[in-house]
Amino acid sequence: MQQLNWTALSIFVLLFGFVAWLGFAAGRWRKGDLDQLHEWGLGGRRFGTVITWFLVGGDLYTAYTFIAVPALAFGAGALAFFAVPYTIVIYPILFLVFPRIWRVAHKHNYITAADFVRGRFGNRWLALAVAVTGIIATMPYIALQVVGLQVMIGALGVQGQGLMAVIPLLVSFAILAAFDYSSGLRAPAAIAIVKDLLIYLTAFAAVIVVPIELGGYAKIFAAVAPEKLILAVPGPNTIGAYGSYATLALGSALALFIYPHSMTAILSASSGHAIRRNATILPLYSLMLGFLALIGFMALAAGVDKMPEYAQGFKTYGTNFAVPALLLHSFPSWFVGVTFAGIGIGALVPAAIMSIASANLYTRNIHREFIRPDCTPKQEAQMAKWMSLVVKAGALAFILLVPTQYAIQLQLLGGIWIIQTAPAVLLGAFTRWFNDWALLVGWAVGTALGTWMAVSVNFASVYPLSIGGYGLPGYSALYTVILNLALATALTPIFRRVSAQQPVDETARADYVV
């Protein structure tokens, strides 16, 4: 049983209390009418370069990133470093695509990616597919923020049975729900600044202090098994781990910015230029991610999994306990409280944005489109506020009722599902050539096949594809979106011949000029 660390716990609670106050106070920051959805759900689209940098960074680099990436390096070795090139590939996509989408969304008051698809292709069912996909793909992602918070709280020694085990999570999410409801996107935007400063402090302290304690980086790498330092050389008739590494990086890059929480953070920017400036400076987060992956190797070199005081933590949380154990072993209790608070707050920020983004999707593209098309702007905003509470409650119930490993496995499906919306969203920013029904068929086939591929390998991240006896193991999300796009391309001319009349495109070419 992990002993209660009163010093670290006190600092953790104080910092949590500060960000809770900040979340409520954020409602008066750049004050707007929070009875308007664009004010509550997008912060009035008034966040400049600096705030957008913190918000997007806080949105994409979550508590689970700070735990899972080094945990993967700790358990699987070099494969974990696919996260570094993929977070470099995403920024050219951000630079080229999203200023165009921002401009169209700003002109036509689009709040979500599904709004954009509805206006661009004129098909409410295609927009519904994008909205439902976004909501479902986000739910396990929110649940995984709870996992990250759960690991931090457990590492502080706050443990128990039954209700006592979940009270800290319930309190944390009650606070999150309250300031989300009252302040909207302004709350996570303000808190993201604190969270990122704490995370940078943690990362830089770890990569400086821990190597000194362990005798330098040479000794750290010497202590890691050779098979974990590099990818395994492919055997005959297969691309082996090289294919897994490359497809995980590329597939993750294509999916990341079309997640609803990513789109929400981007559309809250004050201009397309703010987005482009962010595309040039956000790679600083990739530097931090590389440091975080190295922490997994440091934990291996320190041998924290063999220390009796951390045995229960590894038994309960598996390799996810590697980072907390290393921090507990390497730093004084007061600094552990600071680092744990940074990672815990790193759970609240993305969870807040994700629930707001899901609420926006439901309100705009399901409730208003199919249930209450005559709802007023105030009713629309109120529905979004209530839905953000429902989404949080659903994610919390999911993680409390379903074993943690299933939440982690379902995140793989989230990536497979959300990437199927890429042809409509990403390519829609450049062309209207695709037929809307062809895109819908491509989405349906890609989603169904991707789900089957994941389930058939027990939710592993890599599918052992074989063509002509040659092994092409890779991320099923990338393989299925290629099929999705091929189908949409092949079916578009056929559907155009069947129906000469195309839906009206609400946007104009001039709307996309940045």
pLDDT tens profile 186-213: 999 999 888 888 888 888 899 899 999 9
Read off the pLDDT band of 164 (50, 70, 90). Answer: low
165 pLDDT more than 80: no
Q: What pairs with residue 473 in β-bridges?
A: 464
pLDDT at 95: 93
Mean pLDDT computed over 34-61? 88
Measured CA angle at 29 (ends 358, 48), to 5 deg? 75
What domains can be seen in the chain, in order of their start residue? Answer: 6-409 (1.20.1730.10)
For the chain, percent of residues with pLDDT exceeding 90: 52
**Which residues contact residue 122 at a Cβ distance below 8 angstroms, ignoring those fewer than 6 apart?**
436, 502, 503, 504, 505, 506
pLDDT at 375: 93
Q: What pairs with residue 462 in β-bridges?
A: 475
Mean pLDDT computed over 463-489? 94
Q: What pairs with residue 238 in β-bridges?
A: 471
For the chain, percent of residues with pLDDT exceeding 70: 96
- Side-chain-facing half-sphere of 130: CA atoms under 13 Å: 35
Tokens of 148: 């990250």
Mean pLDDT computed over 442-448? 98
Q: What's the rounded Cα separation, in Å, for the pair 235 and 237? A: 7
Q: What pairs with residue 474 in β-bridges?
A: 463
pLDDT at 357: 95
Cβ–Cβ under 8 Å, residues 179 and 23: yes
Q: What is the pLDDT of residues 332-375, one digit of tens each?
A: 999 999 999 888 888 888 888 999 999 999 999 999 999 999 99
